[in-house]
Amino acid sequence: MPASRKDPSPARPNPWDVARQQLDEVAALMSLDPNIHRFLREPKRALSVAVPVKMDAGELRVFVGHRVQHSVARGPSKGGIRFHPDVTLDEVKALAMWMTWKCAVVNIPYGGAKGGIACNPDEMSAAEIERMTRRYASEILPIIGPEVDIPAPDVGTGPREMAWIMDTYSMNKGYPVLGVVTGKPVNIGGSLGRNEATARGVVFAILRAADRLRLPVAGKTVVIQGFGNAGSFAAKFLAEQGARVIAVSDSRGGIHDGKGLDPEEVRKHKAETGSVVGFKGADRVTNEELLEVPCDLLVPAALEGAITERNAAKVKCRILAEAANGPTTPEADKILEENGVFVIPDILANAGGVTVSYFEWVQGLQSFFWTEDEVNARLRAVMERAFDAVYARKEERKCSMRHAAYMVGVGRVAEATRTRGVYP
């Protein structure tokens, strides 16, 4: 198979259906007030916009973008912006809901939001992406702001795009507004440690789980699906803990070497070739096959819907830490639970990104910035407190970690919603 072709993948389940099913399951388990349940099942606001962009060749293309705010019960909404061909309104609604629970699980004063444009940034020039980003920012400008809704990077976006959004917003306001987005470059108000924060949070959660399960990470085998920002840094940090990374993948396919892969060398290879595929000395595997490689630690770090009832029984790991949003369906969850897989759910495992985004927002509002060591220490404290709260609920209710995390997160949002009441 040529390296430029992507692995074929089965149709993913509708993420909005998955997100609401997860909420419904935990609402029943915790006997959630039906009125609050109905309130939380719907997003507060969903905006879809046309994003016209003049391409380099002179053609005008019109992309479709979305921004969804699920809840503001606990504070302004917060969530990333995704540039990907498969972006849909239902996907963005699901991601916004997951962000609500995630912020509540780590107990930061945000609600959940998400945004995205259906596009393929790999086929666009930097100038085209900039024009698209700035036009999208202009279209959603009425509903974002440092006290309203604070975007951040997600799949297909990064500090560069956040700088363009911050500049576009600031030009419209007439003065610099550092707090309108997070994940910015450090030289315009970004936070040290933000780029690696999602992966660090995943690793802090894994280390806490390993301690509870008496399963030292040193010497254990690791498989990572998705070698983007979160996946590549997770590989690096786990290798630094003495684990052996034996398989990784990206959208074009995966590689496997039972003796172990050097994450830094794989990163260099991907930077040079555009993919992990073809790394010297490693065997080629598909993304589907990669999820079935026996290992101690499995980290899905790609897109949602990777583990379903079709392949869950073939997953052979002890700890599954969800660096991606929504990688496991409810049907797959049941199979993993029956097979003794300890799942660290996405709304806990990958909350490091939004936690350090919160730190960046706070630093920007105060114009007082922390050292990287301070950021990482505060992140570790937040992740460990959150893990301990979820694990305690799991032990108390004799349930899965996902249900426990949802009980913590949904419970906090429900309580805030109940306290505030319904206006008018």
pLDDT in tens, 57-72: 999 999 999 999 999 9
Domain ranges of the chain: 43-175, 197-349
Which of the four pLDDT bands, split at 50, 70 and 90, describes residue 9?
very low
> 2 pLDDT exceeds 60?
no
Which of the four pLDDT bands, split at 50, 70 and 90, describes residue 10?
low
> 4 pLDDT exceeds 70?
no
Digit-coded pLDDT (tens) for 274-307: 999 999 999 999 999 999 999 999 999 998 889 9
Digit-coded pLDDT (tens) for 37-59: 999 999 999 999 999 999 999 99
Percent above pLDDT 90 for the chain: 95
Which class does domain 43-175 fall in? alpha beta
Domains 43-175 and 197-349 are alike in CATH topology: yes
Digit-coded pLDDT (tens) for 397-407: 999 999 999 99
> 106 pLDDT exceeds 70?
yes
Digit-coded pLDDT (tens) for 121-162: 999 999 999 999 999 999 999 999 999 999 999 989 999 999
> 11 pLDDT exceeds 80?
no
Digit-coded pLDDT (tens) for 164-219: 999 999 999 999 999 999 999 999 999 999 999 999 999 999 999 999 999 999 99
pLDDT for the residue numbered 304: 85
> 6 pLDDT exceeds 70?
no
The structure's pTM equals 0.92
pLDDT for the residue numbered 81: 98
- 3-state per-residue secondary structure call for the chain: CCCCCCCCCCCCCCHHHHHHHHHHHHHHHCCCCHHHHHHHCCCCEEEEEEEEEECCCCCEEEEEEEEEECCCCCCCEEEEEEEECCCCHHHHHHHHHHHHHHHHHCCCCCEEEEEEEECCHHHCCHHHHHHHHHHHHHHHHHHCECCCEEEEECCCCCHHHHHHHHHHHHHHHCCCCHHHCCCCCHHHCCCCCCCCHHHHHHHHHHHHHHHHCCCCCCCCEEEEECCCHHHHHHHHHHHHCCCEEEEEEECCEEEECCCCCCHHHHHHHHHHHCCCCCCCCCEEECHHHHCCCCCCEEEECCCCCCECCCCHHHCCCCEEECCCCCCECHHHHHHHHHCCCEEECHHHHCCHHHHHHHHHHHHHHHCCCCCHHHHHHHHHHHHHHHHHHHHHHHHHHCCCHHHHHHHHHHHHHHHHHHHHCCCC
pLDDT for the residue numbered 3: 34
Q: Pick the catalytic residue from 93, 114, 236, 270.
A: 114
What CATH superfamily classification does 197-349 receive?
NAD(P)-binding Rossmann-like Domain (3.40.50.720)
Over range 382-398, report the average pLDDT. Answer: 98
> 417 pLDDT exceeds 90?
yes
Average pLDDT across the chain, whole number: 95
Q: Is 114 a catalytic residue?
A: yes
> 333 pLDDT exceeds 90?
yes
pLDDT for the residue numbered 13: 83
